[in-house]
Amino acid sequence: MSNSPDIFVQILYKWDEANEQTANLRPVNSIAALLTWTVLPLPIDECVPEPIMRAVTETATTSGTLAFRLLFNADLPDGLTVHPAPRAWFGRRVVERLFHCWPADIATATTPHAATEMFFQNWHLQDQTALVQRNDTLSRETMDHLRRTRDWRGHDFPADARVLIAPAVDGEGVLFVAADAHELERAVRAVADRLRDEGLVVTIEHRGE
């Protein structure tokens, strides 16, 4: 991660979804914003800059518990609870792998550190997705969607989640998705305010600009 003070953050409400590969991460009738950044001088390590990920996880865990796909079940940090996926017979597991719908274990995070560790599980490959929960638990239906869904376009936004957070292409952006404008604005503004408190320059491209 970069510790450079020269981090310029942009929050977009319109962008090239094909180029950023975000269309499949947006449920039906949802709205979204994309957080991107520029670091100068250009870093060798192109991970999400530490101040940005810290702002995302600190504000998200303030809003609720985060539920993630668990991709690597080793050296897990404190603050995580693991919910194992149901075990299926071997033939079904083969079919699910072929159709990219195999059920992943779910990990719920209650601390910024635990959430950061989970976000970085295959973040750059766009494998990770997080839901900020409204309540202490997710419904069985929502949990099953999170376990299996790699393309959210055919699904309604989960009623028991506040926000969906996921990476843009190559992990070089943070996508925020919500069912309504109020929920989205609250999430985006919280992150922007936290970044500005840390001295970063944040530009927001409002709708219609």
Q: Residue 30: inside a domain, yes or no? A: yes
Structure-model confidence comparison of residues 104 and 28, the more confident one: 28
* 2 located within any domain: no
Report pLDDT for 163: 97
pLDDT of residue 11: 97
Q: Is residue 171 part of a domain?
A: yes
Pairing of strands 174-178, 201-205: unpaired
Question: 130 in a domain, yes or no?
Answer: yes
Within a domain: 91: yes
61-104 pLDDT, tens per residue?
A: 999 999 998 888 778 888 899 988 876 544 444 444 444 446 78
Sheet bearing 105-109, strands edge to edge: 80-83, 105-109, 66-70, 130-133, 161-167, 174-178, 31-39, 7-12, 201-205
Tally of domains within the chain: 1
Q: What share of the chain is helix, strand, coil (3-state, %, to 5)?
A: 35, 25, 40
Partners of 176 in beta bridges:
33, 165
Q: What is the pTM of this model?
A: 0.87
In a domain, 126, yes or no: yes
Q: What counts of helices (H) and strands (E) characterise the chain? A: 6, 9
Note whether residue 1 is domain-resident.
no
pLDDT digits (tens, 9 = 90+) for 92-136: 444 444 444 467 889 999 999 999 999 988 888 888 899 999 988
Residue 79's domain comprises 7-205
pLDDT at residue 97 in the model: 47
Assess if residue 85 is contained within a domain: yes
Write down the mean pLDDT value for the chain.
Answer: 86
Cis-peptide into 41, omega within 30 deg: yes
Whole-Å CA distances, 202 to 15, 151, 186: 17, 30, 16
pLDDT at 91: 46
